[in-house]
Structures are given as structure tokens and as C-alpha cells.
Structure 1
Amino acid sequence: MKEYSSILAAVIPVLILSLLLLYAIYYSYMDIIYFFLFRYAGLSRIKFSSQKENFIVSELQKIRFYNNLSTKGKKFFLNRVMVFMLSKKFFGDGIKLSDEIKIYIAASAVQITFRIRRFYIDHIHLIRVFPTSVYSRLAQHLVKGLTTGAGVMWLSWDNIREGFQFPDDGINLGIHEMAHAFKLTIQNDGYHHLKNEFDDWMLASQATFMKVQEGDYSFFRKYGSTNRDEFFAVSVECFFEQPEIFANNYPSEYNSLCLLFNQDPLNSSNDYRIERNYNTSL
């Protein structure tokens, strides 16, 4: 019995250290592991051919955010787009799903999470795509997009496409709905450091939200006055599409979003890296 206890006492620390080491390796290289699993292992029936990858790149080249990236940044963006396309279930409702549709939806998710290294919008598992706006019983009116607490996203393809065709107007349905999904992911899936950054954003933007509710639509559109969730999503649209105006007029809110997403849309020449000190108390 003593011999058994001695062996157990010697083995348990080794097992614990081994598990910790495996976890550290996984956490450090999760992007690579996810891409390998989705691309080569778990979904062997859905491999991307060179022709399909080239098509994805040709579509991404129509997106300003992607075009501003370095060669390395573009490769990383492409990898994440492919992972998203393979890891989510898409369903066409009244529309035939195409790779083009999946690419633009995936690009929306990758854009807002581009510089958050170990982060995937895990909350969403099913994306329903409609040709245009659709009536929602939940909202009780026509909607262009909808993100539910159950992990389902509704998107109007007309509005997704339009959002990328006009990248400066502060309106992008893909970005808007992915902002909702981002918030739900960090609330439900244990990204505590991002939850803290989000709480900082809530504090930094409170006064501005109140002004929008009082009718100040000089920058943030009226829909942002609905509630704090919609104000966040509208702000994220403006953050990516009108960063210069945003930063000049609302520096505290802009800086807070930079810290939350770990990127600066104004620094398009260097893969959107944060390269200056952000003080959200400005």
C-alpha cells in the first residue's frame, strides 16, 4: 500500500505538469490548431481547393480593411475567414447560399476580432441568410439582422453586401451584428479581460449615449438610441467606417474601443496596430 501511494504521489505531479504544458501549448498556438483542425482534420470532406482559396482572396480584395493589410496580415485574415466559414452552419432562407455570401459574413467577424489573437465568436453557431429584410416575431417588425441569445444570427444579404460597397457611411450590417455576437461571446464564454474592457467602454460612452437618446444624431444614427446594446453596435460600425471623425469628436469612446478590439482603424498602414498611448479619461 505504501509503495502504491509512493508511485501515485510521484505520478500525479507529472500528470498535472503535463496537462498544464499541453494547455499552454494549446493556448499559445490556438489559431494554428483551430485552422489545422478545421482545414485538414475534422472536416476532411470540405477541403478548400486552390481554386476556391483564390476565389476567396478575389472577394476579400473588394474589402477595404483587407486591402490595407500587409502580406502577412492578409494571410492571417484569410486563414481566419476560412476557419469561420468551416466552423459555422449557414442556412439560406429564400436565397441560394454561395461562397460569396459566406465570405462577406466571415469577413465581418474577422474584421472586428482581427487583432484579438485568441478569440473566436463562439456564441454564434447558426447563421440564417435572407435575400432582404424579414419579419421577426421576436422583434415584431421587419429586421435586416438579428442576433439571438441562443446563438442564431439572421442576416439580410442585400444589406450585408451594401455595407461593404459603401465603407465610409458608418452603416455595415455585418459589423453591426458581429458586434452583438462579440458582446454575447465575452459575456458568456469567460473572456474576463475583454469583459473588463467592455465595462470600461460602457462607462466611457454613458454620457454620449444619453445625448443620443436626447436627440443628438450628429454622428451616431438614431437607431443607436434604442438601448445600450444597439448603441454599442452602431458605435462599432462608426469605429471601423468613420474612425477619423469618431476619434476627433469622441476621443474617449474611440480610445476605449481601440483597447477593447486591440486595434486602431486609423493605423491602416501598419495592420491596425495600437501604436500610441490611449487614455480613456480624455
Structure 2
Amino acid sequence: MLAQFAVLLGIAGLLIVGMFVYPRWRVRRAVHKAFPLAYSAILRRDLPQYRHLAPDLQWQLKKRIQQFLFEKTFVGCAGLEVTDQMRVLIAARACMLLLNRETEVYPGLSHILIYPSVFVVPREFRTEDGLTVESRQVLSGESWSDGRVLLAWDQVMPPEGQIPGHDVVMHEFAHQLDGEDGVVDGAPDLGSQQRYQVWSRVMRDCYRRHAQMLAHGEHSTIDAYGQTNAAEFFAVSTETFFTNPHGLSMEFPDLFRLLRQFYHVDPREWAGS
């Protein structure tokens, strides 16, 4: 009986080890494969920042993309057929937010749903007198807390080209980062109370200044949608940080420095050159 128990215990131990070790081994194997030449061509053609990244950042981005593509499932919606271009570009823009950072590749995310164009989602809200009202909202992207991100492909790759300060993929994946501490509130996992205090102060001050600029009819590099709430201000600021870093650094230098410290990159080094 003792021998049988020992065998069963050993088998159970192997199974438990396999549950944790085998998935990590599969990820490492996928990441260590050569990056496909066709994927590199997509990056060079369709991701302007990639061409100006330092070699070590290009290498980092490729490895992150490989892990992202291995772990996440892409689903075409409304008849859309998902292509390698869609998968690689979405993964690349999402992983731009992870460069130089010791972090997992969106561990809470499992599926990316891609629509051909803007899509409609149902909404419910309560009026002041307590009535529940149903509505429909047209969206170009949305981040959900259940492991899904929804994107409209014609907004990921707009026919007229990217507008500085706008990137729907970076916006929605900033929400994913924001939610990694359990709540989407405009403050991602920062690791220490001191960093949270600095983050709160800078974000609050810049949010108020942004509101004042809009109230006075002044143009801002940060889209007006950022005034929706703190979470949207962080997401919109992230878009601007990566796609219009020079404008953000001049208009909101404190916010730029805060995001540079969080993301561990300075996009001015590879933007617009």
C-alpha cells in the first residue's frame, strides 16, 4: 500500500509540475522561433515607428509579438476574415506598450474580436428617477474585463492614414494595463504607494488643465474624449504619448514625464523621423 501511495503521489506531483512547466515551455519555444520574414515586412510597411526603433527595441517587439500571437485568439466578426496583417499589426501596437518593461503579455487577455468597421453594442443606464434605459452605442474599439478586446479594423488601419494622437489599439490596450490591478480607474499597477501618489497628483492636475483648455476653446494634443473619466484620460494620453510625443511633451511636460517613467521608453526618439 505504501508503495502504491508513493507511486500515486509521484504521478500527482508530475501532473502538477506539468500544469505549470509545460505551458511556459511551449511559450518559450514559440518565442525562440525565428520571426517570419513576412511579419517583418508587415511591420516595416505598416508600423511607421518600427522603422525608427533601435535594434534592441525591434528585437524586444518581435519577441513580444510572437508571445502575443501564440497566446491570444483572434476572431473575425460580421464576416471578416482575419489575416496575418491584422494579427501582426494589432499585436505590434499592443506590445509597443510593453517595451523595456518587466511584465507579462496581457495575462488577463484571451481573445481579440475584429470587426470590419465600427460596431454597435447594447448599453443600459439608469436615469435619475431609477428607470433602466436601453440604448445602442457605436464604437471603434472596446476593452472588456472578461479577457476580450474588440476592434474595428478600418479604425486600426484607417484609409486616410493615422491621425497623430489617435490609435485605437493602444487606447484599448492601455485599458487592459489599467485593469491589471483589478479596477479600471486610470491608475495601472504602479507597485508602491509613493508612485500612486505622484501618479494621482500629475493625472489630476493635467486632467483639470485639459478641461480648462477645452472650456476655453483651445486646441489640445489630447483628444477631448479624455474628459469622459480618469480611465479614458489615461488611455487617450497613452495614445498621444506614443503617436504625438513631441506635442504631448511640449503641452503637458509633467504628464509626458510620468508616462515615460511608466512605459520606460521615449517615443520622441523614433517618432516622425
- TM tier, smaller: 0.7 to 0.9
For residue 259 of structure 1, what is the aligned residue in structure 2?
A: 261
User: What is the rounded CA distance, in whole Å, between the counterparts of 2:270 and 2:106 in structure 1?
Assistant: 23
Match of 2:92 in 1: 107
Contact 2:190/2:196 (8 A) holds in 1: no
User: 1:242 is matched with which residue?
Assistant: 244
**Secondary structure of residue in 1 paired with 2:101:** coil
Q: Which residue of 2 aligns with 1:91?
A: 75
Report the equivalent of 2:167. Answer: 172
Shift of 1:186: 3.9
Q: Aligned-pair distance for 1:71? A: 2.7
1:37 is aligned, of 6, 10, 26, to 26
In structure 2, which of residues 157, 163, 167 is the aligned counterpart of residue 161 of structure 1? 157
**Equivalent residue number for residue 19 of structure 2:** none
Instruction: State the distance in 1 between where 2:167 and 2:173 align.
Output: 10
- Alignment partner, residue 232 of structure 2: 230
SS at match of 2:166: coil
Name the SS of the counterpart of 1:129 in structure 2.
strand
Pairing partner for 1:68 from 52, 77, 101: 52
Q: TM-score, normalised by structure 2?
A: 0.74
Gaps of 5+ in 1: 1-32, 270-282
Q: Which of 217, 220, 223 is the aligned partner of 1:221?
A: 223
Provide the secondary structure at the position in 1 that maps to 2:149. strand
In structure 2, the residue matched to 1:28 is none
Q: 1:97 to 1:90 in 2, by over 3 A?
A: same
Between the two proteins, the alignment pairs up a number of residues equal to 229
* Worse overlay, 70-79 or 54-63: 70-79
Q: What do the CA deviations read for 1:172-203 (whole angstroms, capped 9, x no partner)?
A: 10111111111112447x95528864653332
Give % identity. Answer: 20
Per-residue deviation at 1:96?
Answer: 0.5
Residue in 2 aligned with 1:151? 147
- Runs of at least 5 residues in structure 2 that lack an aligned partner in the other structure: 1-22, 125-135
Aligned AA (1:184):
G
TM superposition score normalised by structure 1: 0.72
Deviation, 1:164, is 10
The equivalent residue for 1:54 is: 37
* Separation of aligned partners in 2, 1:86 and 1:146: 22
| Mapped partners of 1:261, 1:181: distance in 2 | 14
